[in-house]
Structure 1
Amino acid sequence: MASRATQTVVHFSAPFRLPDFDRVQPAGAYRVDHVEEAIEGASWLGWRRVGAFIHLPGVGMRGPTQQMVPINPADLDAALEKDRQS
Structure 2
Amino acid sequence: MANRISKRLVTFHRPFSLPSLDRTWPAGDYTIETEEEQQDKTSDKAYLHIATIMVVRPAAGLRGTTQFIEIDPTELEAALALDAA
TM-score, with length taken from structure 1: 0.83
Alignment of 1:16-31 (within 5 A): 16-31=16-31
Consecutive unaligned residues of structure 2, counting only runs of 5 or more, are none
Q: Paired residue for 2:83?
A: 83
Q: 1:26 Cα shift?
A: 0.7
CA RMSD of aligned residues (A): 2.1
Q: 1:61 Cα shift?
A: 7.1
Contact 1:9–1:32 (Cα < 8 Å) also in 2: yes
The amino acid across from 1:22 in the alignment is: D
Deviations 1:23-82 (A, max 9, x none): 2111010001000010217x5322222110001137857452211000010000000000
Runs of 4+ deviating beyond 4 Å: 58-61
Q: Paired residue for 1:44?
A: 43
Consecutive unaligned residues of structure 1, counting only runs of 5 or more, are none
Q: How many residues align?
A: 84
TM-score, with length taken from structure 2: 0.84
Residue range with higher mean Cα deviation, 44-53 or 30-39: 44-53
Query: Structure 1 residues 52 and 26 mapped into 2: Cα distance closer, same or farther (>3 Å)?
Result: same
